[in-house]
Amino acid sequence: MPAEKDVVKELKKLGNKVLEDIEKGENPNIEIPIRALSNVVFDKKTGQIILGDKTSKRYYFNVAHAKKFMQTLLVAAFCKSLKDEKIHASIRDMYYNLKRTLPNSDENIFDEQSESDPIIVDLEVAIDILRENLNLTTDRKGIVSGNVIIQDRGDSIDWSKLGSGGWSIPSTVDEIDFKKVDAEFALVVEKNAGFERLHEDKFWQKQKCILIGTGGQPSRGTRLLIQRLNKEHGMPIYVLTDSDSYGFYIYSVIKSGSISLAHVSDRIATPEAKFIGLTVSDIFDYDLKKMTIKTKEVDIKRAKELLNYEWFKKPKWQKEINLMIEKGIKAEIEALSSRGLKFMSETYLPQKIKKGDFLD
Amino acid sequence: MPAEKDVVKELKKLGNKVLEDIEKGENPNIEIPIRALSNVVFDKKTGQIILGDKTSKRYYFNVAHAKKFMQTLLVAAFCKSLKDEKIHASIRDMYYNLKRTLPNSDENIFDEQSESDPIIVDLEVAIDILRENLNLTTDRKGIVSGNVIIQDRGDSIDWSKLGSGGWSIPSTVDEIDFKKVDAEFALVVEKNAGFERLHEDKFWQKQKCILIGTGGQPSRGTRLLIQRLNKEHGMPIYVLTDSDSYGFYIYSVIKSGSISLAHVSDRIATPEAKFIGLTVSDIFDYDLKKMTIKTKEVDIKRAKELLNYEWFKKPKWQKEINLMIEKGIKAEIEALSSRGLKFMSETYLPQKIKKGDFLD
């Protein structure tokens, strides 16, 4: 996490740059990396989907730029005030807070939230600071349990003592302090139901791990948490999803980031994450054939797209995806329950971990 | 919550009834209340949407019933085994666990989950026990904070010491023990972002309340929690949603239940819940006119449906819904942020609570 003063420093730098332009009598401008697909690349070295180095300039004296220029500075000023007051706001709160009519005009600062949302991303890339560090919250979704004690907003929270509930992962994950992390790996489960089953079986206790439920595509906060556990605490990350194109894609987003959030991959992706299952091979290895679902046209179309993504161009992945296409089947995590409700926690996962049977 | 032994007793009673039918040489049958719209009524006395008293019988010796009869008994047996083993399963886990081919036949017990899901509801209504008490988990979504200490699965959990996170509300809410409930009311917020804002402002501490975020239409677990806080601890329940048909409907589901879950209203609805806002009048009273969104055709259509629901046939509600239709506007909770980010926690909510300005 960038220190608080650095965030404010970057915001001030942006403002000072504009002031200097004015003092020099130049057309005030802000340089913003381009976020179009044409500037998104897969960086093989870091294993992340990132922005390339193309940038564009947003000018004050330019009829096509002037409004967005004003909006960008207002959003930056809003974030500065959040930092000063030490409070957080959602991007919708921000939209309403800034929505007003300019004096002596009919011009609104923003008419729709669809106008203010991209300006936040512009600011994120322009000063290279996550919106979470600009005190803008994002929607939360995940849950976590495990032998971990954190300090957050003055509270000491023991993730191993939260009953059946677990800790609801906020978007402000960058602000928590890890006081104790006593685990050998973190298991990230796509489905909350899978989290509940494993949580009830005390999987995290027996396997000495941290258990994270994402409830589908993980929220930004959950991705940040996964990265912090990996980077700061050396936690291996194992991802468990359904054996289908959507599950494989969730894994790839955790590992390599996504095209739409390419500008923050270095902050929220975890290239060291590994896929523990369900693989298509697992269906055969663990006798789940009768529990599969026939793929639909859309599954096959998506699978063929995955085959062409740089980050899936690894022999093991190509084999798995091709096997899915060839057999025309997919399977849900819960298919493992056909072998007994505790089969996942007591047999399947321990076996895969012991054998180191992961896809990378 | 029904005592564990009562749940098992009801399951056994169901099995014994079938056994007795066999011993008496009668056609074994199970009596199941009808869940069709024709048997759903609004009970004015309790303020809940409930099932009427029509029932139907499911017979073993009846070509049209035999398969469902078998499925019902298998689901009941599965739940009995969950109770015996003291573990929980999702309804999908159950589907896969029971999915198999009958010996010496081509007949599968279940082909699709869409076959097993309604059987669970049949069982719920037949023995009048919530699926949660049959150890079947449902999807979780809500978060809670406040001056409350609970005991759950051997852990003591203090809802006031969970940092920015909060406690993730599981589906097994019936199993938690309340050790300390030190609050004057519970505020239920439709949106997680609203929860975060209020949580950060320590609203629950300053107003001595329990703060619940539902993340849209509340999960069954969250509704159970709301009812328990109201029934067992006399907590007044105030519901805060967007000022639109969808928000009003969320409130009505918390208060009166819903048609699709009419068979469990008495267990998960809270007729004493009150609506704190946003009302359409609030838009005018709190100077939010410029922050409104024009209603679409679908909003008006839905609003007209609400007007005709028995549970909205109260003068204040009719006035509010008609005002929305007449003005053609709706507003989001976050519109309050136009008056300042802390306006909701420091002005709007305290004023409404002080004045007792609720819709019932």
Q: Where are the domains of chain A?
A: 4-137, 143-355
Contact B109, B71 (CB under 8 A): yes
The H or E element that residue B228 is part of is: helix B220-233
Q: Which of residues 46-65 of A touch B (CB under 8 A)?
A: none
User: Cα A245–A249–A255 angle (5° rounding)?
Assistant: 150
Query: Cβ neighbours of residue A284 under 8 Å, at least 6 residues apart?
Result: none
Structure pTM? 0.94
- Cis bond leading into B187, ω under 30°? no
Chain A hits for B166, CB-CB cut-off 8 Å, are 167-168, 170
A156, A170, A192 member nearest B165 (Cβ): A170
Radius of gyration of chain A (CA): 23
Burial (Cβ within 10 Å: 0-12, 13-18, ≥19) of residue B53: exposed
Burial (Cβ within 10 Å: 0-12, 13-18, ≥19) of residue B347: middle
Q: Which of residues 122-141 of B touch A (CB under 8 A)?
A: 137, 139-140
A97, A200, A336 member nearest B341 (Cβ): A97
B172 and A150: CB-CB below 8 Å? Answer: no
DSSP 3-state assignment of B272?
A: coil
Contact B169, B211 (CB under 8 A): no
Q: Which of residues 146-165 of A touch B (CB under 8 A)?
A: 150-157, 161-165
Nearest-angstrom CA–CA distance, A48 and A51: 10
- Mean pLDDT over A285-305 rounds to 96
Q: Please count the other Cβ atoms lying within 10 Å of the Cβ belonging to residue B289.
A: 12
| Residue B46 C-alpha, separation from nearest chain A C-alpha, in angstroms | 31
B334 and A95: CB-CB below 8 Å? Answer: yes
Residue A66 pLDDT grade (very low, low, confident, very high; cuts 50, 70, 90): very high
Q: What is the pLDDT of residues A72-126, one digit of tens each?
A: 999 999 999 999 999 999 999 999 999 998 888 888 899 999 999 999 999 999 9
| Residue B333 C-alpha, separation from nearest chain A C-alpha, in angstroms | 9
Pairing of strands B89-90, A177-181: unpaired
What the block records as the tokens of B320 is 């509010």
Look at residue B102 in the predicted model and tell me its pLDDT.
86
β-bridge mates for residue B149, sequence order: B158, B180
Query: How does DSSP classify residue A37?
Result: G
pLDDT in tens, chain B (360 residues): 566 669 999 999 999 999 999 999 999 999 999 988 899 999 999 999 999 999 999 999 999 999 999 999 999 999 999 999 999 999 999 999 999 988 888 888 999 999 999 999 999 999 999 999 999 999 999 999 999 999 999 999 999 999 999 999 999 999 999 999 999 999 999 999 999 999 999 999 999 999 999 999 999 999 999 999 999 999 999 999 999 999 999 999 999 999 989 999 999 999 999 999 999 999 999 999 999 999 999 999 999 999 999 999 999 999 999 999 999 999 999 999 999 999 999 999 999 999 999 999
Nearest-angstrom CA–CA distance, B158 and B175: 16
What the block records as the tokens of A116 is 């203010």
A161 and B156: CB-CB below 8 Å? Answer: yes
Nearest-angstrom CA–CA distance, B182 and B184: 7
Nearest-angstrom CA–CA distance, B154 and B317: 44
Q: Please count the other Cβ atoms lying within 10 Å of the Cβ belonging to residue A31.
A: 12
Look at residue B107 in the predicted model and tell me its pLDDT.
86
Query: Cβ neighbours of residue B87 under 8 Å, at least 6 residues apart?
Result: A200, A201, A341, A342, B135
**Which residue type occupies A36?**
A
Four-CA torsion B2, B5, B7, B13, nearest 10 degrees: -130
What the block records as the tokens of B346 is 């420091």
B152 and A169: CB-CB below 8 Å? Answer: no
Closest-CA residue of B relative to A343 is: B97
Chain B hits for A95, CB-CB cut-off 8 Å, are 334
- Catalytic residue of the set B96, B238, B246, B348: B96
Q: Please count the other Cβ atoms lying within 10 Å of the Cβ belonging to residue B350.
A: 14
Contact B243, B285 (CB under 8 A): no
Interchain CB contact of B113 with A (< 8 Å): no
Q: Where are the alpha helices (DSSP H) in chain A?
A: 4-23, 66-85, 91-98, 113-127, 192-200, 203-206, 220-233, 245-256, 265-268, 280-285, 297-308, 315-327, 343, 349-355
Chain A hits for B340, CB-CB cut-off 8 Å, are 97
Q: Does domain A4-137 have CATH number 1.10.10.10?
A: yes
Look at residue B257 in the predicted model and tell me its pLDDT.
96
Architecture of the domain spanning A143-355: 3-Layer(aba) Sandwich (3.40)
- Taking 90 as the threshold, does the pLDDT of residue A1 lie above it? no
Interchain CB contact of B299 with A (< 8 Å): no
User: Cα A289–A291–A294 angle (5° rounding)?
Assistant: 85
Contact A342, B87 (CB under 8 A): yes
Determine whether B348 is an active site residue. no
B89, B96, B152 member nearest A165 (Cβ): B152
Interchain CB contact of B335 with A (< 8 Å): yes
- Catalytic residue of the set A59, A95, A96, A309: A96
**C-alpha distances out from residue B146 to A15, A49, A140, A197, B156, Å:** 40, 41, 19, 27, 14
Look at residue B273 in the predicted model and tell me its pLDDT.
98
Look at residue A106 in the predicted model and tell me its pLDDT.
86
Interchain CB contact of B341 with A (< 8 Å): yes
The H or E element that residue B197 is part of is: helix B192-200
The H or E element that residue B158 is part of is: strand B155-158
- Mean pLDDT over A176-186 rounds to 97
Nearest-angstrom CA–CA distance, A214 and A250: 10
Q: Where are the alpha helices (DSSP H) in chain B?
A: 4-23, 66-85, 91-98, 113-127, 192-200, 203-206, 220-233, 245-256, 265-268, 280-285, 297-308, 315-327, 343, 349-355
Residue A3 pLDDT grade (very low, low, confident, very high; cuts 50, 70, 90): low
Query: How does DSSP classify residue A243?
Result: B
A139 and B193: CB-CB below 8 Å? Answer: yes
Nearest to B125 by CA among B303, B305, B262, B241: B262
Contact B119, B68 (CB under 8 A): yes
Q: What is the pLDDT of residues A102-111, one digit of tens each?
A: 888 888 899 9
Percent of chain A with pLDDT over 90: 94
Nearest-angstrom CA–CA distance, B131 and A105: 59
Largest separation between any pair of C-alpha atoms in chain A:
74
Pairing of strands A209-213, A143-146: antiparallel
Nearest-angstrom CA–CA distance, B299 and B296: 5
- Mean pLDDT over A310-330 rounds to 97
Look at residue A128 in the predicted model and tell me its pLDDT.
93
Contact A339, B100 (CB under 8 A): no
Residue A235 pLDDT grade (very low, low, confident, very high; cuts 50, 70, 90): very high
Q: Please count the other Cβ atoms lying within 10 Å of the Cβ belonging to residue B336.
A: 29
Chain A hits for B197, CB-CB cut-off 8 Å, are 88-90, 93
User: Cα B266–B269–B271 angle (5° rounding)?
Assistant: 100
| Residue A324 C-alpha, separation from nearest chain B C-alpha, in angstroms | 20
Whose tokens are 């410029």? That residue is: B290
